[in-house]
Amino acid sequence: MSALRDALRDLSDAVFFDLLESDEAYLLVLDVPGVSAEALEVGVDGGRITIQATRAKDVPGEYRYLEENRSMHVDVDLPLPADATEAGAEASVSRGVLELYLPKREDAAETAIDIVADENESEDTDTDTTSTGRTNGPDT
């Protein structure tokens, strides 16, 4: 997840976001004021999150721009956290706030690894030799 945090820190100061985490998912909240759902493109593919947003403005017919400073275009490419999955990802936008829900993998929890005993090792001995050559047993 640190790769995602690092990438978010590198975003322009004009991009406001929150990154939240629960046991089941991540939630990326991104401010996109004035951007409609039709002007948003969000994708999660190949371990990457892509977000493109453009704010369109209407200019009354009798006016023309002398200076334009309120336009907005966001083009974000972020790494997907290693324990997150593309399956089940959802996005919604309401009142200029984009929420991207990224579920965690079910197998992301720590997995116990079975240990196989050496076939030559006898189970009925009280003494064993460790990989360092030391002898361990009841008298050690």
pLDDT in single tens digits along all 140 residues of the chain: 577 777 777 666 667 888 899 999 999 999 998 889 999 999 999 999 999 999 878 888 899 888 777 777 888 889 999 999 999 999 999 999 999 999 999 875 566 778 888 887 655 555 555 555 555 555 55
117 lies in a domain? no
**For every residue of the chain, which 3-state class applies, written as one string?**
CHHHHHHHHCCCCCCCEEEEECCCEEEEEEECCCCCHHHEEEEEECCEEEEEEEECCCCCCCCCCCCCCCCEEEEEEEECCCCECCCCCEEEEECCEEEEEEEECHHHCCCCCCCCCCCCCCCCCCCEECCCCCEECCCC
Residue 28, in any domain of the structure: yes
The answer to whether residue 131 is domain-embedded is no
| Within-domain flag for 55 | yes
For residue 69, the domain's CATH number is 2.60.40.790
Query: Which pLDDT belongs to residue 91?
Result: 96
- Domain count for the chain, please give it: 1
